[in-house]
Structure 1
Amino acid sequence: MTPSDSPHPARRSRSPVRFAAALGAATLLFGAGVAASLDANAAAPPAPTGWTQTFLDDFNGGGLGGDWRVSEGTSYPGGPANFGTGEVEVSSRDNVTVSGGIMSITARGQGLGPWTAARIETNRQDFRPPPGGKLRVEGSLRLPEAPNGQSAGYWPAFWMLGGPYRGNWWNWPGIGEFDIMEQVNGANRVWSTVHCGTSPGGPCNEKSGVGNGGPGGCQGTACTKGFHRYTIDWSAADNSATFYLDGRQTWRVQRGANIDAGTWDQAFGSHGFFLILNIAMGGEMPANTLGPLNGATTGGGHLDADYVAAYTGPANAPPPPVGPPGGGPTPTPTQTPPTCGPLISQGRPATSSAIEGDLVAGNAFDGNPATRWSSAWSDPQWIQVDLGAVQAVSRVKLDWEAAYGSGYTIQASTNGTTWTTAFEESFGDGGTDDLKVTATARFIRLNGTTRGTGYGYSLWEFQVFGGCGGTPGPTPTNGPTPTGTPSGGGNRDAYSPIEAESSDGRSGLTLETCADTGGGQDLATGANGDWALFRGVTFGTTAARQFTARVASGAGGGVSGLVEVRLDSASGPPIGSFAIADSGGWQTWRTVPANISAVTGTHDVYLTFTSGQPADYVSVNWISFGH
């Protein structure tokens, strides 16, 4: 077994990448007298109300303190080459500086290399929540952007890795990993991900992991232009991990919800973790998201840390406050919606993606605050209303139940098939969202891309208001309401679930009754060389960058394969893919995301299936795309 075939901390690989062995690494410890873990200066935050500070480095000393080590070279001693991720830099203490209360890691090199940067880690490896309580880990960081924006291949991260990894180096991902922040190529996007289980595939979809797919970034100032707070609250009370950016929830995982109990307990149930800050250059995540290193990439980009802190608290310790560190620029407030337009959605026909139990879409439009709509426990999900006729829209009001949307768009359509985005939210925090939405439409849809909890999306009420001016909208007509999933033949919305059985052509696949939420049929017996065609998928003018599929596998004996997306030809180059192995059974369904190359316009979409062996390895219920 070669390093590239073995488990290792690969943080977001989309496909196995093989590399030659490179330099070994020596771990360098710094003198303990330089900076104690509870040093503070004026910029260091006090312990939040309800929390007790257990670690703080505000980098106010003369160098990197004794709480940290630098892992030098290109691997851990005896561990996978290139730190198991395909990154090409040499990690060196020479790339770490501390000055003016800021710790900086700087990438140095040009083009395809050679490159140097650094990976620093806490000596402590006992970070975990107290029994029945919570652990918070937070960093105030400014993310790297190379001079002139030539940042292709930059991959900074702030993350936590299970302590048992030290000295073994081959037990990833079973020992667990929390990626509090990952960023690629200087983009104003932040990924948060959990890794666990086995690799490749396994219950946590390795090496992709269980994450939010990087739906958005920093508000007020870009992540590369100012300091922002990146936070995880890990709770032993409800066995969950919640991720925040400037106090706005961006992702949440929970034992028994989106990670099964046995896998969670192995990865996060008993051992401690250590903290890591690093810049990787090249490797699997840039190559499979926003682009690899190229000849134009320039050195000089730096990851800056103002402080790194840890706190413990009881089960009811409050979430972090909303806003950037130090009272800097605050996110731009949402515009106040007009209140002059009439309510035009109540009682109108409504449809949605898969639902939980009998909590149907119509409950969100019945005017009864005691009834609700609730979706399946996966991303993406959608709910839409037919207003009966094309008319002006000025306002949308969402009253969330506890299961809310952290990332979503409000979409408008005149015909139920072609949609435009009228409003986008990347950091929703639940409660009531009263939104200024300007559109002319017959259909209004909420398209949820990132759940705020481990459950689904749930709304007490979804209200749409007409234009101002005192004139009622056109008289509605009670024609049929499109569902957003055409039965075939084109005009498909990329951002709504496309049922697999509606394919316009297929080879090697068979139809079977589906036991997943929503019933219907699925495409089964997917094996090497098979394909399915979906004609006329409309992506619009805003590029799609994510693909999601609802899949199941009962393949045993280590059988696995790729689900690939190709445009306009079954033999064209894949724009994205993910690996799938045994999910626990042919009707044990899970939602798997993958990043894709940017796509706009309208295309015929081919799902193709590639494996190094001939056995069936996947069934598909539906597919969808996201921005």
Structure 2
Amino acid sequence: MESNRPSRNRRRRRLLAALAAFVLPISMATTASAPAQADLPPDPEGWNLVWSDDFEGQAGSLPDSDDWIVDTGTSYPGGPANWGTGEIQTYTDNPENIGLDGQGNLRITPRRDSSGQWTSARIETRRADFKPADGETLRIEGRIQVPDVTGQEALGYWPAFWALGSPYRGEYWNWPGVGEFDIMENVNGIDSVWGVLHCGVSPGGPCNETQGLGDSRACPGSTCQSAFHTYSFEWDRSGSTSELRWYVDGQQYHSVDQGQVGASAWSDMTSHAGYFILLNVAMGGAFPDGVQGSATPTGATRPGEPMVVDYVAVYETGSGDGGGDDGGGDDGGGDDGGGVDARSTIQGEDYQEQSGTALETTSDSGGGQNVAQVGDGDWLRFDGVDFGSTAAQQFKARVASGAGGGVSGLVEVRLDSRTAAPVASFAVGDTGGWQNWRTVPANMDAVTGSHTVYLTFSSGQPADFVNLNWFTFSTT
């Protein structure tokens, strides 16, 4: 839940890349064959960048904590042991296991100590709301080289690039119903990429759990291990039936449509706020063991071979950016242009303009930031909020307050002008603390079409009275 504004460094790099493409087309062709690239590729035609990380930074440093959570240990607190898959390593935040390489890449490296214990690393995006707007398509993409090890020395290696449904955070026992998109999995050094959907119930169910609905193919041109390849996943909501698609280097090799899964399971995995993205290298577990037909890793497995990630990016078709962020956040909130589905989870800090507020780190589920220090007369502006042709009739917001002393006020929704009559509002008082969050619903006038949305705050008192994390609109 970071700002939508790209960092100054990324803006500069994109400008330089554009100039290089104009002035030196021959050097661009040379760069394309290099093992890693210094910047994100240009946005594909017809797509808009929602969020990205190109892993620029000092060698040995962790990925940006504003964008990523580093998982540690052998499970989530209270969650299934061994991350629910039987993998045998312990995840750490040790630079020997995870870090930037100073050349625009992230490296996740499994290690084995003198006692035979394995360590590795796993990260997940703070944002957990990646989801296409109605009528649009979302693409999650990464340019990755899996560990360059094959044969007996590769047994147990399990690099993955994937996404989990947001309700999994804090619950940890609702898999596979919340949905899982495995964008790239590779095991045991085999020259093959697997793309898999997990959904429904386990075992069995519409997604054939615990196996899932998957397919695989060899990497084009060069092996998955010997070179970078671009792995992509698309969630298409543009047609009468939604579809999921998997690609490697732009070549589609797998798809699943809504009809294959059924209405109930599809709704369970798509009706929540969205998905968060993960990168990890596991060692051993159900998948590599199942492919090998015996336990992995073995004494022959060679430690120290990294998965190298050049970039991760999320795109969406259409005019919107899904309420998202294209990777920065150094300017303390704000967005370069707006454009968001009214029915998505709109993060408070993704405003285009504000008055009187501040941002702070939130303890609410999903992490990130919330809008703070909100008092009488303050406001936030969100451009291009698309309500579509079906009228929205309810407004919900995630709020907290530690005002105490009987201080309270109104959270109001106004369209296209800060002085327009509110179309929705609710009152909020002390919730027991500035990070003690409540989701408050309010009925609203029927709204269709695209609008500039203003959230205004009034109390008639000088004291701050509310914090805001996110809001959304719905038909009921």
AA partner of residue 196 (structure 2): T
Among 304, 308, 314, the residue aligned to 1:304: 308
Correspondence for 1:72: 72
Between the aligned partners of 1:226 and 1:149, the Cα distance in structure 2 is 20
**Segments of 4+ in structure 1 off by > 4 A?**
33-42
User: 2-side partners of 1:192 and 1:285: how far apart?
Assistant: 13
How do residues 50-199 of structure 1 correspond to structure 2 at under 5 angstroms?
A: 50-62=46-58, 63=61, 64-65=63-64, 66-94=66-94, 95-99=97-101, 100-109=103-112, 113-146=116-149, 150-199=153-202
Shift of the 261–227 alpha-carbon distance from structure 1 to 2, 3 Å rule, reads same
The structure number with the bigger radius of gyration is: 1
Q: How many residues align?
A: 283
1:44 positional shift: 1.2
What secondary structure is seen at the aligned counterpart in 1 of 2:264?
Answer: helix
Rounded to whole Å, the distance in 2 between the matches of 1:162 and 1:71 is: 17
Alpha-carbon separation, structure 1, partners of 2:303 and 2:48:
39
With over 3 angstroms needed to count, the CA separation of the structure-2 counterparts of 1:57 and 1:180, relative to structure 1, is: same
Cα distance, 1:81 vs structure 2: 0.6
- Greater share of helix residues, 1 or 2? 2
Q: Does 1:295 align with 2:287?
A: no
Deviations, residues 539-577 of structure 1 (Å, cap 9, x unaligned): xxxxxxxxxxxxxxxxxxxxxxxxxxxxxxxxxxxxxxx
C-alpha contact (below 8 Å) 1:60/1:101 kept by paired residues: yes
Gaps of 5+ in 1: 1-28, 316-627
Contact preservation (8 Å) 1:145, 1:185: no
Q: Which residue in the other structure is 2:243 paired with? A: 240
State the partner residue of 2:443: none
Paired with 1:50 and 1:117, the residues of 2 have a C-alpha distance of: 38
Contact 1:54 / 1:312 at 8 angstroms: preserved in 2?
yes
| Pairing 1:179-258 to 2, within 5 Å after superposition | 179-212=182-215, 214=216, 216-237=217-238, 238-256=241-259, 258=260
Deviation at 1:273, TM superposition (A): 0.2
Distance 1:110 1:201, change over 3 A: farther
* Cα distance in 2 between the residues matched to 1:299 and 1:97: 17
2 CA distance for matches of 1:112 and 1:146?
22
Match of 1:47 among 43, 47, 67: 43
Tell whether the 8 Å contact from 2:151 to 2:189 is kept in structure 1 after alignment: no
Q: Tell me which amino acid in the other structure corresponds to 2:202.
A: S
Do the aligned partners of residues 261 and 147 (structure 1) sit closer, same or farther apart at CA in structure 2, a change above 3 Å counting? Answer: closer
Q: How far apart in 1 are the matches of 2:185 and 2:198? A: 13
Answer yes or no: is the 8 Å Cα contact 2:69–2:123 preserved in 1. Answer: yes
Please say if residues 37 and 56 of structure 1, whose CA atoms lie closer than 8 Å, have aligned partners that are also in contact. no
Q: In 2, distance between residues paired with 1:269 and 1:151?
A: 39
User: Structure 1 residues 217, 35: closer, same or farther in 2, change over 3 A?
Assistant: farther
Shift of 1:146: 3.7
CA displacement at 1:148 relative to structure 2: 8.1
**Kindly tell me: are residues 160 and 129 of structure 1, through their superposed partners in 2, closer, same or farther at Cα, counting changes over 3 Å?**
same
Does the Cα contact within 8 Å between 2:108 and 2:306 map onto a contact in 1?
yes
Read off the aligned partner of 1:102 and give its amino acid letter. Answer: N
Q: Structure 1 residues 270, 241: closer, same or farther in 2, change over 3 A?
A: same
Aligned mates of 1:111, 1:147 — CA distance in 2: 22
CA distance in 2 between counterparts of 1:178 and 1:189 reads: 17
Partners of 1:35 and 1:122 lie apart in 2 by 17
The 1:312/1:78 distance shift into structure 2, 3 A limit, reads: same
Distance 1:231 1:198, change over 3 A: same
Shift of 1:234: 0.6
Deviation by residue 1:175-209 (Cα, 9 ceiling, x = unmatched): 00000000001110111000000111112111001
Q: Return the alpha-carbon distance in structure 2 between the equivalents of residues 92 and 227 of structure 1.
A: 25
Offset of residue 38 of structure 1: 5.7
Q: Distance in 2 between matches of 1:71 and 1:200?
A: 26
Cα distance in 2 for partners of 1:81, 1:35 equals: 38
CA contact (8 A) 2:165 2:269 kept: yes
Query: Which letter does structure 2 place at the counterpart of 1:156?
Result: P
Q: Secondary structure at the match of 1:249?
A: strand
Deviations 1:133-189 (A, max 9, x none): 010110000001348860100111000000000000100000000000000011101
Q: Residues of 2 paired with 1:81 and 1:151: CA distance?
A: 24
Confirm or deny: 8 A CA contact 2:49 2:314 kept in the other structure. Answer: yes
SS at match of 1:262: helix
User: Post-superposition shift, 1:265?
Assistant: 1.1
Shift of 1:259: 1.3
Cα offset for 1:69?
1.1
One of 277, 280, 283 as aligned partner of 2:285: 283
- Provide structure 2 residue ranges, at least 5 long, that are not aligned to the other structure: 15-37, 320-476
C-alpha change, 1:112 and 1:194, in structure 2 (3 Å) is farther
Query: So what's the TM-score if we normalise by structure 2?
Result: 0.56
Question: By how many angstroms is 1:45 displaced?
Answer: 0.9
